[in-house]
Structure 1
Amino acid sequence: MKVMKKAIATGLAFTLAAGTLVGCGGGDSSADTKYELTVSGIGGSLNWLPVYIAEEKGWFEEEGLAIEDALFTNGPVQMESLSSDGWDIGCTGIGGVFAGVLGYDAKILGSSNTDDGTQYVFTRNDSDIVKAGQGNNSINDEIYGSAETWKGKSILCNTGSVTQYVLVKMLEGFGLTQDDVEFVAMDPATAYSAFIAGEGDACVLTGSGGTFKMLEETDKYTAAASGPLVDSGLMCSFVANKNSYADEEKYEAMKIFMKVYFETMDWMKENPDETVTYCVDMNDENGSTMTEDTARKYVEADTYYTLDEAVAMMEDKAEGTDMSVMENNMTDVLDFFISVGNYTEADREKFAGHVDSKLLKEVQEGAGTQAE
């Protein structure tokens, strides 16, 4: 049973009101459907995979929930559609979280998975960075290079992005700043193409394309650092349209969505081979062909949270702060974006208080009741 799927948004002019979202799948929902929800996400992403699987399995319909997909190419474009109430709840990365909260007063309802497993800093094997070896970085001994070998290097990296965040964190471990290197602004796909063509001393990549291709070419390239090695704390999260969140019926629909989503992630952990097959199929439908081997690496790159873990991050206080672990991690990343001029100090204050654990705690309590 297929649900209606909205087309991928490829430009900033995308709006629901203008009718640019069109159905691209079958539309046969359950006769017992009680709730309806428009769910947004990034096409082909790891945090969209549980939605894709649950749709294919018919698990939303079994719970009386009809899902309509709204897929986008990146978080900021995804959040822009909130200006026209384009969707109710969304799965997104940290860039989308900030755009949604600071631009449209969206609510943060929890996190689904880590989002640093596909972010890598690469250099060539014959680089003096590699020759300097490991053990010189205060954040992690496994990071390659030294302050002397990184200083002045030309690095291809997307500006104002999580890749830049990973790069800056790595440099901090050497006692350096971005001003100590030559930062060349390029999106990941362009950076990958340019680097293999001989440009730059290093490049920072993310996603399922260039990252895994370069990881396989160990005879040419070395992964000098990564998101996990620099302890980036990046994660993918759920954000809600503030108007939908305030609507009683939509709120109940979101609870069903979250219940099915986390149950699907539990199923994925128990069925890794079938999960890989679904990942290949999802990316094929999204227009980005992925081999089974690459899909397996992609799925294993990040960690999906359990429902209890997701709630704990929103409830437990970060050491030395009054913020939850989740909000503290996000605020650290926001401080970085403020430092590079993407946001202001006023935005830091505006961001506070948007993490709301109420809905996810109610899902957790319902799951506990059912388990009893």
Structure 2
Amino acid sequence: MRKYILALLLLVSILISCGTKSSSSKKIRVGTMVNTVALPIAYALEKGMYSNEGIEIEILTFASGAPINEAFAAGEIDIAASGLASVFALAQGNAKWIGEVNTTGGMGIFVRQDSPIAKEVGKVAGYSNILGSAETVRGLQILGPLGTTAQFNAIGYAKKFGLGGNDIKMIHMDNGPAYQAFIAGEGDAIAASPPHSFQAREEGYVLAATFEDATDVVSMDGIYVGTKFLEERRDDVVKFIRATYKASEILSDYQTRYDFEKDWFERNGRVYDDKTLDNDINYKVYVTPAMMQEETYIFGDGMTGTAEFFYEDNKISEDTLPNVQKSYDVSVIKDALGIDVKVDQ
């Protein structure tokens, strides 16, 4: 009888332990790309910064922002670290934009040297560096992934000439295949992002417009999380943000970032030569707590511009547009870092 009671007590103890086990023990699935935006997360994971916070992270990589959004919608990831394609997830009203990771310089529209566009300068008032005209841009076949900064770039370029998204043809390909297809002679232009935009410059292709000139937006890659997940595991999300920004501060040191970026990219199938790596570091700057406290920093500013742009091009509806600004939640940064951040409203 005594053995039976002891066994019963042990069983009850185990059941209670299982029943009260914190959800913080569950792995957080983070969807991202083998790109600049992923590096602080990869660094924090490999250096034990998340485990020091008491959370477990799994990184899942995707080719671009569009499949990250799809994985988020399907419940396959909990947190996303992605680019401006995130705007479509935020517009659905069930996600929060809780962190901005890095600037996204270096993107642009490239054409071949013999393109008629390359010979036309000064057709857009106030934008002396934009090449082309309404006549040469109309009907342009531009390679790049749909639902990402590439499409935003392409449509913005067309709009500079009084055209719209329907006046050009966006041929959907992921960034790497798009660049390979372009240098093989397919399409008329490419909406390229680093490292392919750097490679395009090196190979002598002509920059028709930078992303910033085409869209009038200074964009940020960043982090979004499901609203329900944030409600249920807020403490863990705060810990995730704290460790990620600590990693961003560390990676703001040129040599530290250079060494880790080169190594992590190569281990994940992306090989950069020294010049491409240097360009990536100089163009894509990490957001740090110090940067977020600068007078000119406004959280969500670039995402708002992106949302308004896609609304005007009928890619985001009038009823979902307000969800984007409503998604900005700097309270997680406040809890994680103890700083106040200005928000675009």
TM-score range, shorter chain: 0.7 to 0.9
Greater percentage in helix: 2
* C-alpha distance after superposition, 1:306-350 (max 9, x if no partner): 22444679x98xxxxxxxx54453233223334444432222134
* CA–CA separation in structure 2 for the residues paired with 1:52 and 1:293: 22
* % identical aligned pairs: 26
Alignment: residue pair count: 315
Matches of residues 32-181 of structure 1 in structure 2 within 5 Å?
A: 38-82=28-72, 85-99=75-89, 101-103=90-92, 105-115=94-104, 117-133=105-121, 135-138=122-125, 140-180=127-167
In structure 2, list runs of 5 or more residues that go unmatched. 1-23, 341-345
Q: Once superposed, what is the RMSD of the aligned Cα atoms?
A: 3.1
* C-alpha distance after superposition, 1:72-95 (max 9, x if no partner): 333343344445654443312221
Instruction: Indicate the residue corresponding to 1:357 in structure 2.
Output: 330
Preserved contact between residue 37 and residue 253 of structure 1 (Cα < 8 Å)? no
Q: CA deviation at 1:50?
A: 0.7
> In the alignment, which of 307, 316, 320 is matched to residue 347 of structure 1?
320
Q: CA deviation at 1:358?
A: 1.0
Q: Secondary structure at the match of 1:47?
A: helix
> In the alignment, which of 245, 258, 263 is matched to residue 246 of structure 2?
263
In structure 1, list runs of 5 or more residues that go unmatched. 1-33, 317-324, 368-372
Summarize the Cα distance change of 1:161–1:340 in structure 2 as closer, same or farther, 3 Å threshold.
Answer: farther
Which TM-score applies when normalising by structure 2? 0.78
* C-alpha distance after superposition, 1:163-204 (max 9, x if no partner): 121122223333333454x42423234432332233333222
Instruction: Indicate the residue corresponding to 1:24 in structure 2.
Output: none
Amino acid at match of 1:245: L
User: 2:186 matched to 1:196?
Assistant: no
Q: CA deviation at 1:103?
A: 4.3
* CA–CA separation in structure 1 for the residues paired with 2:145 and 2:187: 13
Preserved contact between residue 87 and residue 324 of structure 2 (Cα < 8 Å)? no
Q: Secondary structure at the match of 2:162?
A: coil
Amino acid at match of 1:236: D
Matches of residues 218-367 of structure 1 in structure 2 within 5 Å?
A: 218=204, 221-230=205-214, 231-247=216-232, 250-270=233-253, 272-310=254-292, 325-365=298-338
Q: CA deviation at 1:351?
A: 3.6
Amino acid at match of 1:244: F
Which TM-score applies when normalising by structure 1? 0.73
Q: Secondary structure at the match of 1:121?
A: strand
Summarize the Cα distance change of 1:65–1:312 in structure 2 as closer, same or farther, 3 Å threshold.
Answer: farther
Amino acid at match of 2:203: E
* CA–CA separation in structure 2 for the residues paired with 1:127 and 1:84: 42
Q: CA deviation at 1:365?
A: 1.6
* CA–CA separation in structure 1 for the residues paired with 2:302 and 2:339: 27
Preserved contact between residue 114 and residue 234 of structure 1 (Cα < 8 Å)? yes
Amino acid at match of 2:65: G
* CA–CA separation in structure 1 for the residues paired with 2:306 and 2:68: 20
Summarize the Cα distance change of 1:276–1:243 in structure 2 as closer, same or farther, 3 Å threshold.
Answer: same
Instruction: Indicate the residue corresponding to 1:320 in structure 2.
Output: none
Structure with the greater alpha carbon radius of gyration: 2
Instruction: Indicate the residue corresponding to 2:3 in structure 1.
Output: none
Summarize the Cα distance change of 1:61–1:119 in structure 2 as closer, same or farther, 3 Å threshold.
Answer: same
